[in-house]
Amino acid sequence: MFLLTFCFINLSAKVPKKPNTGKNAGSPIDTKQALFSSKLITTATEGHAVKVRANIKGVKNLYLIVSDGGNSYSCDWADWAYPRLIGSNGKTTKLTDLNWKIAKSGWGKAQINKNCGGGPLKINGEDITYGIGTHANSVIHYELPKNHDFIEFQALAGIDNGGSNQKSGTQSSVQFFVSDKPINMAKLANIQQGLPNTDHYPADQFIIQDGLEVKLWAKSPLFFNPTNMDIDYKGRIWVAEGRNYRGKRTQPDGDRIVVVEDKDGDGVAESSHVFVQEKTFISPLGVAVVDNKIIVSQPPDLIVYTDVNRNAVFDIGVDKREVLLTGFNGNNHDHSLHSVTVGPNGQYYLNFGNKGAQVTDKEGWQLNAGSFYSMKNISGKSSSDGQIYLGGVAFRVNQDGTGLRPIGHNFRNSYEQAVSSFGDIFQNDNDDPPASRTTWLMEYGNMGFTSKNGLRKWGSDKMPGQTTQVAEWRQEDPGVVPAGDVYGGGSPTGIAFYENGIMEDRFGGYVISCEPARNVLFGYHPKVTGAGITLPQRDIFLTSNPNKNFAGADFASAGKIKGLINLFRPSDICIGPDGAVYVADWFDARVGGHGTRDAGQTGAIYRIAPKDAKLSIPKFDLTTIKGQIDALKSPSPNVRELGRACLVKAGNKSIPAVRKLLAHSNSFIQARAIWVLGKLGKSGLQVVEELLEHEKEQIR
């Protein structure tokens, strides 16, 4: 996902010169539920408005509804001008004299006698003396007085100048409804966009690697708009929601961290509850669960909640909340702070995109990172180690907030990182033009997006004869890391590394990267090549769109929505403690450019495993060495941290059991043992030193 300028707040723009009559306009619909349904209103509509008359005799509930016309909600400022209730005796009552029960606005807020941005009501340049300003998609609900004698609702419904004055008026298109019943806005939006009326992609329609099957594990309303997720040792999935993503403020109390659970073990989640919701949560892009610590990435902060009583609910006064780090730029922006992954050494690994940051750890060590894109004032400014870090930065930090150190920099916007048990890091990065990529991150490497001083875009330095893919990642500049697999236009999100479990015979040591713009999960078997690691072959691990009919994305070849195949938008991927792969789906007709079209804000989680596999969540007793070893062997990275931490705490008495793992058939489990032994004092280090003569280069 990457930046496009949205047209919401330019109130000083000139009166439109070209009306919205072409491809940017949506399509009107009819609904039998409505007491009144307008045609599609655009800047080509006379007066930019329509007269509204609806029979409300005997009506108890009055719903005023504005849809976006099916072409996204950009610039769809809408006014209900002169809304009034006409009695049987002809007496007029201003609707604005009544109190609404609920009022939702797709951007800004619904306001009496003001537009959604707080300015004066104005339609086609005409001042409106009273009315309601809102923004598609919008629902305003009035409960009419008991035994009222109103027989008709009247109003003038139109596009407010706050929207029509932007982009020459080409983006505004709305449709107005009056109803005595709620209208399902998600279904309404789907109809207008010509999309199927469903809230998820059918699991049996995915194209998947041979021998595997996809099952729907959970979907809305258990959670909505999943931006990121993690799986705890009980197999519960913790979801970060993004319902307030960009202009869509549908949750006035803030976004949520939701716990989703399959309590009966039948492979389908049936319950969920809220762990925490804060007004400051605006589409957090990361959640990680490490024992009873829940780590939320919500710029400007990295927040750690400690669930003291372990009830999976944040109880104020009982549980703890700590801002571990702060100073990350880009609140409610994709190019900001992303999720935490615990590395095999017990440190937190995470990254932020090129919105930049100025962060100081608990020891006073400061990281400065800026570029031409954001935080230009610190671009080229050295950090506490005397080095200059640019744009997006990957880093690690101790769990107590000390020891922050960058491990790679100068990428555009890596959405997440996967850390193998050998300590190798894999990430993806999205493009400006068509040059998205999946990469191995060489430790301390410069990933090549901006110039060395951070002030020049790649296009400014493009040399004659260079392709976009070479120039954008500066592949012919000295000191720049190889770009990895550059596959073209895209908008990559979550990434995972599969090491062991029920799929390790085929997918042990396998990178899986989400690419929502292409409706696909890419897969790679990394190859050690000299002193580095390459990704020589890109597999299609799973897709809804095998014929590559891309739509709803920013790159040039993406056309109009073809149907359900384009709505699968994988936002994250995790390896469960049962060894299955879990994929979160944002489910939307639009991805990238901070755009959305799914009014219902639905989402789903799918489980991928071998056909007919008998899956279960392992149980282990962390008070015993055996239980700690079992936890260390977990396929799930943040679950195995429970075992690592306990084994290190146990000291020398854990050495015999950990040493046995050096003979394990899975080399990744061997590597986990080495990290633990290195923390077990002199006796542990002696075992590690013996391994310096090991036949396998990665073990050495």
Q: pLDDT tens, 35-83?
A: 999 999 999 999 999 999 999 999 999 999 998 876 666 789 999 999 9
- Predicted local confidence at residue 181, as pLDDT: 87
449 pLDDT tier (thresholds 50, 70, 90): very high
Average pLDDT over residues 382-396: 97
> Who's near 536: CB < 8 A, 6+ residues apart?
525, 527
97 pLDDT tier (thresholds 50, 70, 90): very high
With tokens 């697999």, the residue in question is 485
- Predicted local confidence at residue 192, as pLDDT: 55
List 351's β-bridge partners, or say none.
Answer: 394
Name which of 115, 136, 133 is nearest 68 in CA terms: 136
387 pLDDT tier (thresholds 50, 70, 90): very high
Say how many C-beta atoms besides its own lie within 10 A of residue 330's C-beta: 22
List 395's β-bridge partners, or say none.
Answer: 350, 406
pLDDT, one tens digit per residue, over 271-309 is 999 999 999 999 999 999 999 999 999 999 999 999 999
Q: What is the dihedral of CA 436, 440, 445, 447, to 10 degrees?
A: 0
Average pLDDT of the chain to the nearest whole number: 91
- Predicted local confidence at residue 107, as pLDDT: 82
**Six-digit token string for 316:** 């104020």
Cα separation of 630 and 640, whole Å? 8
Cα separation of 77 and 122, whole Å? 10
- Predicted local confidence at residue 698, as pLDDT: 86
What is the Cα 621 distance to its own chain's centre? 34
C-alpha distance from residue 597 to each of 227, 589, 625 (Å): 15, 6, 51
pLDDT, one tens digit per residue, over 510-568 is 999 999 999 999 999 999 999 899 999 999 999 999 999 998 888 756 667 778 899 99
CB 99 within 8 A of CB 50: no
pLDDT, one tens digit per residue, over 682-697 is 999 999 999 998 888 8
Q: Which residue has the higher pLDDT, 243 or 398?
A: 398
| Pairing between β-strand 77-87 and β-strand 226-231 as defined by DSSP bridges | unpaired
Domain boundaries, the chain: 34-192, 203-610, 625-693
Q: What is the dihedral of CA 671, 353, 556, 484, to 10 degrees?
A: -30
List 369's β-bridge partners, or say none.
Answer: 357, 389
Instruction: Report the percent of the chain where pLDDT is more than 70.
Output: 90
- Predicted local confidence at residue 16, as pLDDT: 30
Say how many C-beta atoms besides its own lie within 10 A of residue 130's C-beta: 16
393 pLDDT tier (thresholds 50, 70, 90): very high
Dihedral sign, CA of 609, 610, 612, 615?
A: negative
- Predicted local confidence at residue 597, as pLDDT: 60
- Predicted local confidence at residue 196, as pLDDT: 60
Cα separation of 267 and 262, whole Å? 7
| CATH architecture entry for 203-610 | 6 Propeller (2.120)
Which option is the CATH number for 625-693: 2.30.30, 1.25.10, 3.40.1630, 1.10.3470? 1.25.10
Cα separation of 207 and 214, whole Å? 9
- Predicted local confidence at residue 18, as pLDDT: 35
139: amino acid identity, one letter: V
What is the Cα 458 distance to its own chain's centre? 26
CB 574 within 8 A of CB 230: yes
* CB-facing half-sphere around the CA of 88: CA atoms within 13 A: 5
Read off the pTM: 0.79
Name which of 546, 544, 503, 543 is nearest 525 in CA terms: 503
167 pLDDT tier (thresholds 50, 70, 90): confident
Instruction: Report the percent of the chain where pLDDT is more than 90.
Output: 79
- In this predicted structure, the answer to whether residue 264 has a pLDDT above a threshold of 50 is yes
421 pLDDT tier (thresholds 50, 70, 90): very high
* CB-facing half-sphere around the CA of 413: CA atoms within 13 A: 26
C-alpha distance from residue 66 to each of 130, 148, 176, 478 (Å): 18, 25, 5, 55
> Who's near 308: CB < 8 A, 6+ residues apart?
292, 315, 318, 319, 320
